[in-house]
Amino acid sequence: MAFPRIRDPGRCWDHFGRTKDAAPMSLAACSCSSSTVTKGTQAFRVQQTATREQVVVQATAHLLLRAFSSRAVQHSIQSAFSLETRGVDNRHVRERFIVLLSDIYEILGDLCRLSSPDVASVFPRGHISLPALVDEVVSLIHTQRQFTGLRSEISALLRAQLGPIGHLFGCFTAQIQEIIFAAQIGPDHRVQNTGGGDEPWRAWNRRWLLEPGSIQVISIPQGHKVYVKPSLVEFSRWVFEFACIDLTVDESGSRLSVCSVFPMVNGTAPTEFFLDGRLRTFRSTPSGISSILLTPEGWSIGDYAARMSGHTNTINFDFYALTDSDLDTGFADQGRRTGQRETSTTVCWVSVTFAVEGNLQAGNLPDVRDHFIFFRTVVAQATYNPASWSNLGAKLSDMSTVSRSLVFRELPWTAELEIQGGYVAVPV
């Protein structure tokens, strides 16, 4: 199927450049900036006098969190990606995209009104609105040094340039392609989530709810700068992704199916993981987001290796994420610059161990709520430089999974974060 491009003749500026569509432009500006604006500013207590910068950051962060949990936002996203209600030809895809941006802009405007009086007091007439918040965010970006990296992107949006909007539109069409693929492979035939029986794998087959109070994030001191600094956008996205999930291990114990109870996108198949220890790739996340899309922080995801131990009732995952960057290697003698550049890849390795346990007392009937999953995660990073691997010499993203697996085993990893937490089983 041929999907429309953002610059289809006679269509792009008519759809995306008109004055009345300035609101979605502001929405994109606010959303793309929130991932970085919410970093680098210290939180403040209510009894302290907050600076204007802190208030703007707080308002942006609260708006983002409300949007993640908003049923109206979820309904708009799911309607935009529904294959049953409208067509999927070029015209309909463009129309869906425009309607989605407009709907979310209106919803965010409504959510702004929920801000606390303390936050609203620093805005004109003591009233916070989305346009006023965008103005404050843009001002913050252009006056604070830590937000320098966002200035060009925000300026492009305010000048109605189509680069950032074109990127969003490309993500939108890629997600529709994933939904169409899921529809073509047919309905899912998962086994029932029953926990009866003595087989070790049956203990996993339940609905699990993340216990928020159990989450602990620990920095691993290494005597150097810590590079793993997930933004509020990134952290919120993954918490939402795995907040409540259905797990199913097949009878052979060789495959695990993970499905979000609150998917962001309907119509996609559950994420299936093979538990054979080999490096593989998954197509979509448990909430339905295509793995083709980069994360908000620019990471490419999809690689994993998983193993199940029936003796200890544990499942071990190794997830890998990649992001490319250019290194300036063009220096000759006496420090003269030669203009040569080299692409390196930063690799993030997330090692997770899940352990399922029961808390049954003698004489009591088994209760689904007496089962728990505890997890421990270690986040590490390494840098892959193709020039240092003469036998491979290629970008990681261009390699086969076998070659990437060899590289992952040999990279000098530096552990930086440890995350611990737990799930409790809940009735379906």
**Residue 210: CA count within 13 A, CB half-sphere:** 17
Calculate ∠ Cα 316-320-326, nearest 5°.
165
What local confidence, expressed as pLDDT, does residue 30 receive? Answer: 42
Distance CA 27, CA 68 (A): 15
What local confidence, expressed as pLDDT, does residue 227 receive? Answer: 56
Euclidean distance between the first and final Cα of the chain, in Å? 38
For each successive 10 residues of the chain (428 residues), what is the average pLDDT? 35 36 41 44 46 83 85 90 70 91 92 74 73 86 80 75 80 88 64 54 90 86 58 79 92 90 81 95 90 85 92 91 68 46 84 84 54 94 82 77 92 92 92
What local confidence, expressed as pLDDT, does residue 372 receive? Answer: 93
Closest CA to 283 of 307, 295, 301, 260: 301
Answer yes or no: are the C-beta atoms of 304 and 348 closer than 8 Å. Answer: no
What local confidence, expressed as pLDDT, does residue 72 receive? Answer: 92
**Residue 33: CA count within 13 A, CB half-sphere:** 35
**Neighbouring C-beta atoms of residue 58, cutoff 10 Å:** 19
- Output the pTM of the full model: 0.74
Kindly list the distances between the CA atom of residue 300 and the CA atoms of 103, 145, 278, 319, 347, in Å, as whole numbers in the listed order: 28, 28, 19, 11, 10
